Amino acid sequence: MANTPSAKKRAKQAEKRRSHNASLRSMVRTYIKNVVKAIDAKDLELAKTSYTAAVPVIDRMADKGIIAKNKAARHKSRLNAHIKALSQAAA
């Protein structure tokens, strides 16, 4: 346990930051999950709209350091590839 006043303050700040970051990470996962659900349901229009809503959120969290930039790029690339495959199958 922290003994000095500065260590106690740092512990409080770290906990506050941890819970905020966890909330942001959860939000990114929810947006990604919405796209995946639309793809699994083979709903092309919903998948496209969910994807366009998810991309700015994913990018923003990557800029803030909540998720790594490569992880953000990987998610966007894979989701986009699934949507393209879905549109190819529909055509």
Quote the pTM value. 0.89
Domain count, the chain: 1
Question: Based on the number of CB atoms within 10 Å of its own CB, is 56 exposed (0-12), middle (13-18) or buried (19 or more)?
Answer: exposed
Residue 83: what pLDDT?
97
Q: What is the CATH number of the domain that holds 25?
A: 1.20.58.110
In the numeric block, which tokens belong to residue 77?
A: 């690339």
* Amino acid found at 28: V
| Residue 90 pLDDT > 90 | no
- Extended strands (E) in the chain: none
Domain encompassing residue 63: 3-88
Q: What pLDDT digit, counting tens, does each position of 19-76 carry? A: 999 999 999 999 999 999 999 999 999 999 999 999 999 999 999 999 999 999 999 9
